[in-house]
Amino acid sequence: MLSINTIKSYAITICQGKSTIWRKVTENVFSKGQANNMLPSYIRVDDVICMNCYNGIVINSSIEFQRHAQEQYRFEDISEANKADDFLFFSQVVKVLTDILYTRENREKKPMIYSFDEFREIMEGENIRLKSFFDKLYFSSSLSTKNKNSQIRDLTMYLDFTGVSDTTLDTLFDLGTTITSRSITRYKSDAFKEHYRLVNATLTQHIEKAM
């Protein structure tokens, strides 16, 4: 027999508790409820609903339950749209951070920020959509040092490629987000030399085979 706590946890939110008889949502009931747009989106197969709700959804196709189900789907659509609005692509994050830093330091003449916690607090205060970006940074900090350093280098390479100034890169380095602009210049130089060496070695190898 189902416990009261189990039953209550699965009751439909507009259930008036008029029935003491409970039924599990079978696949057949679930399919019917979805087909006639009567089943709220939070109900799943094997969940439990009361007999009154069951009759309203499956037997009588009650307008009340249909309206409730439609409101739930509409609420989810709005929530998903809001999540999409709150999301920033990485290139957008770079632009937002750069604009905020430029405004603070050049127009408002405020001092540079050296504490990451303060930097995050100020940036999120300026644009709440940056919160998810900083959450991802925090998550990445739990990765291995080698992997983390590789990610930081790749991040700096990307920022450099998009035209972010050396001053901004060095500011982000002070915050622990990037490597220095000098380091990325040296890395690019080493990568170019290695690429040049590999190309020459490959060409020499094929020339020798062709002769």
What is the H or E stretch that residue 63 is in? helix 63-86
Question: 32: closest CA among 19, 49, 15, 14?
Answer: 49
Give the domain-ending residue among 35, 60, 86.
86
Same-domain pairing of 79 and 116 = no
- What band does 55 get if pLDDT is binned at 50, 70 and 90? confident
* Whole-number Å distance between alpha carbons of 61 and 59: 6
SS3 label, residue 96: helix
| Best mean pLDDT range from 32-36, 67-71, 127-131 | 127-131
* Whole-number Å distance between alpha carbons of 211 and 208: 5
pLDDT in tens, 121-132: 888 888 877 777
Same-domain pairing of 80 and 95 = no
* Whole-number Å distance between alpha carbons of 110 and 123: 14
Range of the domain at 206: 90-210
Same-domain pairing of 69 and 125 = no
Same-domain pairing of 110 and 156 = yes
Kindly report the backbone phi and psi dihedral angles of residue 87, in degrees, each rounded to the nearest multiple of 5, phi listed first: -85, 135
- Rounded to a whole number of angstroms, the CA Rg of the chain reads 29
User: Total structural domains in the chain?
Assistant: 2
Give the domain-ending residue among 68, 86, 104.
86
Rounded average pLDDT over 141-169: 72
Two tokens, residue 2: 């189902």
Same-domain pairing of 147 and 167 = yes
**Strand intervals (E) in 4-104:** 22-24, 48-50
State percent of the chain over pLDDT 70: 72
Q: Residue 7: pLDDT above 50?
A: no
pLDDT in tens, 91-111: 677 778 888 888 887 888 888
CA distances (Å), origin 59, targets 47, 171, 177: 18, 66, 60
